[in-house]
Amino acid sequence: MNAHYSYITNQESLHQLCAKISAERVVAFDTEFVAEDSYKPELCLVQVAVGGDVAIIDPYPCGDLSPFWDTLVDPLNTVIVHAGREETLFCYRATKKLIPNLFDIQIAAGFLGFEFPASYGNLVHRFTGMLLDKEETRSDWRIRPLSQQQLQYAAQDVRDLPKLYATLKNQIEKLDRLSWLEEETKQRQLELQEFESGDNWYRISGIQALSGGSLAIVKGLWAWRDAKANERDTPPRKILRDDLLIELARRGTSDVRRMTSLRGMEHRHTKQYLPELAKVIEASLNQPMPVWPRKQRYGKGQPAGMLTQFLSAALAYICRTKRIAPAIVATSEDLRDFVKYRLDPKNADADPPSLTVGWRAEIIGRELDELLTGKLAMVLDDPESEMPIKFCRPM
């Protein structure tokens, strides 16, 4: 089924669209972008569904999209997305504001017990019976002119968002979980804001194996690489791969000859940076170990694997009976944090882990507490059932 759309290529049409959004107060949007060749993803299209119509904004001829981004952060407007991480970041970069009333279809589906994360195509098929055309998934959206097939593909990605919003919001409200959804959506936006504005050296893959002075070198190399990538408008990994950065930090030497012996450093595009890298490592060796900005850890070591497996089974049971996706509630790391926090009295003054606060405490935390303290038991109920266990109160 083709989606009818208007193609916006100038400021006059853009302002008309923004006026319509302000009048309707509910807008859905999606983006097409290319991320592999620039420091930040390059925005190529913005698709908008508002008041029963679909519009495609072409940012190349339009130029400044500030009027559109400003409508999204208007507290009177509801903004609908699906898996809107990049969409949220585009808006934040343009306005330095979070979207006050964001409704993410993917998160909402998780709060109703559907698979999480669920693809847009699967949700559209489930609720409308229609199949989406995915032939243009790998299109280079920077090339102009765009084909009719590309534009149809782009338009279909927002066409059904308002319908899904109406359906899912109604079901969320019936389960009295709208406040949970709002809390989770706000928290995820705050995490994206922190990611965008903070130093992300500690997120580098492989950093868990390092400690002490090596972490100071990682931070220094990360900052140098990030500035260089920004200056050249290229992805940081094309300046220096993560694995090479980690290995340079592990070796902890500014000796160019020893650095050159590292496999991967012999390539011309990397080798050219050796003098700069040596200076960064030398300067970092004199720096104190940086503060680890990740969320608080609770105690040392890991709880017994059998205990976390026990709670994983309990998590699956609770989420099934309460119709919510386990993946949106807790990860295995969240369960480990919960166990360590509860079993070690020294954690009394620490910041509580996620399963003990907010909507997660309400839906699962209290029952996990009762399981750990023996006030609640988990027993085998029906071995042939899809959910063969149940909870019961000890006599």
Whether residues 240 and 185 share a domain: the answer is: no
Whether residues 270 and 209 share a domain: the answer is: yes
Which residues, in sequence order, are CB contacts of 293 under 8 Å at separation 6+? Answer: 198, 199, 202
Q: What integer pLDDT is reported at residue 306 of this predicted model? A: 81
Q: Which domain holds residue 261?
A: 201-284
Alpha carbon separation from 137 to 84, 154, 157, 257, 366 (Å, rounded): 17, 10, 11, 45, 43
Q: Is residue 182 part of a domain?
A: yes
Alpha carbon separation from 360 to 2, 25, 296, 323, 368 (Å, rounded): 41, 31, 18, 13, 11
Residue numbers in the chain where pLDDT is lower than 70: 1-3, 293-304, 345, 347-349
Whether residues 159 and 179 share a domain: the answer is: yes
104 φ, ψ to 5°? -95, 115
Q: Is residue 74 part of a domain?
A: yes
Q: What integer pLDDT is reported at residue 349 of this predicted model? A: 67
Q: Which long-range contacts (CB under 8 A, 24 or more apart) does 206-215 make?
A: 206/242, 206/243, 206/246, 207/246, 209/246, 209/250, 210/246, 210/249, 210/250, 212/289, 213/252, 213/284, 213/285, 213/289, 214/249, 214/250, 214/252, 215/249, 215/289, 215/290, 215/292
Whether residues 18 and 149 share a domain: the answer is: yes
Whether residues 280 and 328 share a domain: the answer is: no
Q: What integer pLDDT is reported at residue 38 of this predicted model? A: 95
Sign for the pseudo-dihedral over CA of 248, 253, 259, 261:
negative
Q: What is the CATH number of the domain that holds 122?
A: 3.30.420.10
Whether residues 279 and 359 share a domain: the answer is: no
Q: Is residue 300 part of a domain?
A: no
Whether residues 132 and 26 share a domain: the answer is: yes
Question: 228: how many CB neighbours lie within 10 A of its CB?
Answer: 17
Report the distance separating Cα 143 and Cα 139, nearest Å: 9
Q: pLDDT tens for residues 246-304? A: 999 999 999 998 998 898 888 888 889 999 999 999 999 988 888 876 555 555 556 66
Q: What integer pLDDT is reported at residue 345 of this predicted model? A: 66
User: If we measure between CA atoms, which residue out of 131, 138, 154, 190 comes closest to residue 55?
Assistant: 154
Q: What integer pLDDT is reported at residue 2 of this predicted model? A: 61
Whether residues 118 and 191 share a domain: the answer is: yes
Q: What integer pLDDT is reported at residue 298 of this predicted model? A: 57
Q: What is the CATH number of the domain that holds 338?
A: 1.10.150.80
DSSP 296-316: PP-SSS---HHHHHHHHHHHH
- How many domains does the chain contain in total? 3
Q: Is residue 292 part of a domain?
A: no
List alpha helices for 96-212, DSSP H. Answer: 105-111, 120-128, 148-159, 161-174, 178-197
Whether residues 37 and 186 share a domain: the answer is: yes
Q: What integer pLDDT is reported at residue 4 of this predicted model? A: 87
Report the distance separating Cα 182 and Cα 40, nearest Å: 28
Q: What integer pLDDT is reported at residue 303 of this predicted model? A: 62
Report the distance separating Cα 250 and Cα 308, nearest Å: 32
Q: Is residue 238 part of a domain?
A: yes
